[in-house]
């Protein structure tokens, strides 16, 4: 999968089109990702032992990976992602500037 946790992405389709956020979680089996603060819905909670009041909360819902584009860190523009093999490692690179994305991942962790 070309999108990973911590990537800065642009939403290219749907009600949150043209908004930018950071990927919180990637659901690989469903080909979806949860972007922080975007695609929010209201969820009604029933009273329970954990939540004695019940009520309504805002919750981020998953977006299809096909509706997301990675933001190129060098010029803050959306870019597609490809792979290059350097030695024994397969790394992610942006198609726009051919910049390595794996170095950015190591800095955030």
Q: Tell me whether strands 8-11 and 78-79 are parallel, antiparallel or unpaired.
A: unpaired
Nearest Cα to Cα of residue 3 among 90, 50, 87, 64 = 64
Per-residue pLDDT tens for 48-62? Answer: 998 888 899 999 999
CATH number reported for the structural domain that contains residue 77 in this entry: 2.30.30.30
Per the structure, the complete domain to which residue 68 belongs is given by: 8-108
Residue 109's pLDDT is what?
A: 44
> What's the structural domain count of the chain?
1
pLDDT-flagged residues of the chain (< 50): 107-109
* Whether 59 contacts 45, CB under 8 Å: no
Is residue 2, in this structure, part of any structural domain at all? no
Is residue 3, in this structure, part of any structural domain at all? no
């Amino acid at each position: 999968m070309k999108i990973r946790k911590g990537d800065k992405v642009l939403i290219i389709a749907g009600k949150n089109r043209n908004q930018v956020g950071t990927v919180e979680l990637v659901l690989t089996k469903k080909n979806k990702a949860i972007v922080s603060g975007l695609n929010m819905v209201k969820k009604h909670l029933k009273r329970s032992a954990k939540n004695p009041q019940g009520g309504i909360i805002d919750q981020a819902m998953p977006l299809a990976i096909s509706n997301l584009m990675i933001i190129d860190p060098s010029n803050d523009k959306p870019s597609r992602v490809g792979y290059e093999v350097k030695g024994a490692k397969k790394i992610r690179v942006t198609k726009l500037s051919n910049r390595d994305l794996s170095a950015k991942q190591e800095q955030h962790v």
